[in-house]
Chains A and B, each alone.
Chain A
Amino acid sequence: MATRTIRVEAIARVEGEGALDLHVRDGRVTRAQLRIFEPPRLFEALLRGRDCTEAPDITARICGICPVAYQMSAVHAMEDALGVTVGGPLRALRRLLYCGEWIESHALHVVMLHAPDFLGYPDAIQMAREHGDAVRGGLALKKAGNALMRLLGGREIHPVNVRVGGFYRVPAKSELGTVAEELKRARDIAIETARWAAKFPFPEFERDYEFVSLRHPDEYPFNEGRIVSSRGLDIEAREYDGEFEERHVAHSTALQSVLKKRGSYLVGPMARYNLNFDRLPAAVQALAGECGLGPQCRNPFKSIVIRAIEMVYACEEALALIAAYEAPAESAVPLVKRAGIGHACTEAPRGILYHRYVLEEDGSIREARIVPPTSQNQLSIEEDIREVASGALELADDALRDRCEQTIRNYDPCISCSCHFLKLAVHRE
């Protein structure tokens, strides 16, 4: 058969709706297209005319899995526009809240959504019959991340406590004590989860990606840092539009981001790890080594191990932040509304999330632009599929389809975000 068409109509274990079309002709992959048909919700349009202080609550609704990322990029961008800096314990609390979201989101992906690919199960519930401890551990991790979000944010999905300038209410030091005990147990489970994931069978596959992430002078990045890449990019968030552009393609309701000079790039845990390995504590670096990772990793299938390593880091960092915390006298810094332009980029669990706002004199939003991680990874995902499929054409359609889906899930794609994504079809011609 010279021609072959494989189609995955609904990609499972991803957040949101999308499909994949793979066209194969004379033993060569001619086209791999992610079709994202998540219905557009038009956030950048509906934000216009809203007050700058409403942006964190409204943009959180782009994604129920990573609402804190949207809240963080929104508040930092607004503070940039208003000329306000938030430091000290308020900054530490934001970082602590982000730790909670990384733990919750990574635990969901690593154990509930991605591990079943490597162990041959349709889902974590089926997997629990033979890997009960791992699944229960994953759920306990997720619960610890959510507990942190609930304490600092009021609830785990769409937290209510984040505001431009800080928080509505800050916790007393004693309130953080109970969650610290849960985080210590979570750290031990995260270490076991990393060792467990390290033993999975990984396909031999590497690509020469351009990794893009934040980089901070002393910290593994969450809220702050310059946008850097493995090919020399080194810019402030306000220079983002000069280097990146979004393209609108017919097969997707998600815009595709490219580096203007070089095309596709990769954001997320693997990019952060490669660009910030030296910012991880020595014990976390040693654990990565024990799990078979060097300071560099270009195999996207191993991103599951990196996510587990990042969970360990997030637990450690949360514990350190709690130990150092002293409650501030004020829960937020005062704001004076003015016209301005604000930019911010923070590290969502899935990679950098860019927000830009133009404000009117009364603080209302004239223009909004939001570039989520999954739209930045879309081209890289398509390129990975082309290469993975090219090396696996001897597989029957079902097996090839599974391999392609797994390739997509390496990215923990959040389709609800990106459209603001997946079915798979392989066309063998």
Chain B
Amino acid sequence: MGAKKSLAVWKFASCDGCQLSLLDCEDELLAVADAIDIAYFPEASSRMEKGPYDLSLVEGSITTPHDAARIRKVRRQSKFLVTIGACATAGGIQALRNFADVKEFVAAVYASPQYIKTLATSTPIAEHVKVDFELRGCPINKAQLLEVISAFLTGRKPAIGTDAVCVECKQRGNVCVMVQGIPCLGPVTHEGCGAICPSYRRGCYGCFGPTERPNTAALAAEWQRLGATRRDIQRAFRTFNAAAPAFRKESEAHGD
């Protein structure tokens, strides 16, 4: 027992879906628990061991002054810190506030805005502390999560591809949806999902965020040829990875 590495799972502003991915590993969960000591995972256990932890998985974005301080404490207790999902890696859907007036946003939802303490922006974990590895997706792919944990336990680099969704789509043998007139973010979106949307006859909506060097302008032009309006294009780049720099920049070039 003493030689086992320890795992902690942390939550910031998020939907819980990415940490649920660990519990969704139905066939592997008990084996994972044999291989690594799940020392702190409040969503799954009332046993909460004190740090330091060998591996921390961080879900969610930073949206409150309290969380901005808490992530620094988490970093200090963590030898290796991996962000899981679009919120932790790019700010999530809640980063739409970054393009608006957060006070007006709070007033639109709460009758007594004075009770609510929140920041003007939703920011990824890497803007606050050093991150050792980032796992993309809204939600993450659970096979990729298992790969990250296995790679950590054996001391190697995780084998996570960095191509565009198009590569996975070709591998799956799909007919390109763009060719059928359906606007798709696949060419500029990071692989990892397995090209689910085109396999279900819809365009990719970018939930794994931008690839390293995406040609978003060329794709936006192609969308226009398919009949998308400037507003459609802005909306498409402003979803779960709206604050990722490449998507933010492209969205700012379009609008009403």
**Which A positions have Cβ atoms within 8 angstroms of B?**
10-17, 37-46, 48, 50-51, 54, 57-58, 61-65, 67, 108, 112-113, 116, 122-126, 128, 135-136, 139-140, 142-143, 146, 154-158, 160-161, 163, 168-169, 246-250, 253, 255, 331, 405, 414, 416
A154: nearest chain-B partner, CB-CB: B196
Q: Is the CB of B12 within 8 A of A39?
A: yes
- Flag the segment in B156-164, B198-206, B244-252 that touches A: B198-206
Task: Closest A residue to B196 by CB, please name it.
Answer: A154
Q: Which of B79-106 contact A (CB under 8 A)?
A: 92-94, 96-97, 100, 102, 104-106
Q: Which of B223-245 contact A (CB under 8 A)?
A: 232, 235, 239-240
Q: What would 11 more interface pairs be, CB under 8 Å, given A13-B43, A40-B116?
A: A13-B45, A38-B13, A40-B110, A42-B94, A58-B239, A123-B44, A126-B45, A136-B30, A146-B24, A168-B200, A169-B201
B51 within 8 A of A: no
Chain B hits for A40, CB < 8 A: 63, 106, 109-110, 116, 118
| Residue in A58, A113, A161 whose beta carbon sits within 8 Å of that of B93 in the complex | A58
Instruction: Give complex CA distance A124, B45 in Å.
Output: 8
Could you give, for residues 57-97 of chain B, a 1 whenever the CB lies within 8 Å of some chain A CB and a 0 otherwise?
Answer: 00010011011000000000000000000000000111011
| A249: chain B residues within 8 A (beta carbon) | 115
Residue of B nearest to A167 (CB): B200
Q: B15-23, B124-132, B147-155, B213-221: which lies at the A interface?
A: B15-23
With both chains docked as a complex, state the minimum distance between the C-beta of B9 and any C-beta of chain A, in angstroms.
12
Q: Is chain A's interface secondary structure helix, strand, loop, or mixed overall?
A: loop
Q: Please tell me if B38 contacts chain A, counting CB pairs below 8 Å.
A: yes
Across the interface, which residues of B come within 8 angstroms of A246, CB to CB? Answer: 111
Q: Known contacts A50-B235, A160-B196, A161-B200; is A57 also within 8 Å of B205 by CB?
A: yes
C-alpha spacing A135/B30, complex, angstroms: 10
**Contact yes or no, A39 B67, CB < 8 A:** yes
Bound-complex Cα distance A304 to B121 (A):
40
B44:A157 contact, CB within 8 angstroms: no
Indicate if the CB atoms of B16 and A61 lie closer than 8 Å. no
**Which of chain B's residues have a CB closer than 8 A to the CB of A62?**
15
User: Given the complex of chains A and B, what is the CA–CA distance between A51 and B239 in angstroms?
Assistant: 12
Contacts of A247 in B (CB 8 A): 111
- Asked, given contacts A39-B13, A57-B239, A58-B93, whether A112 binds B109 with beta carbons under 8 Å apart, the answer is no
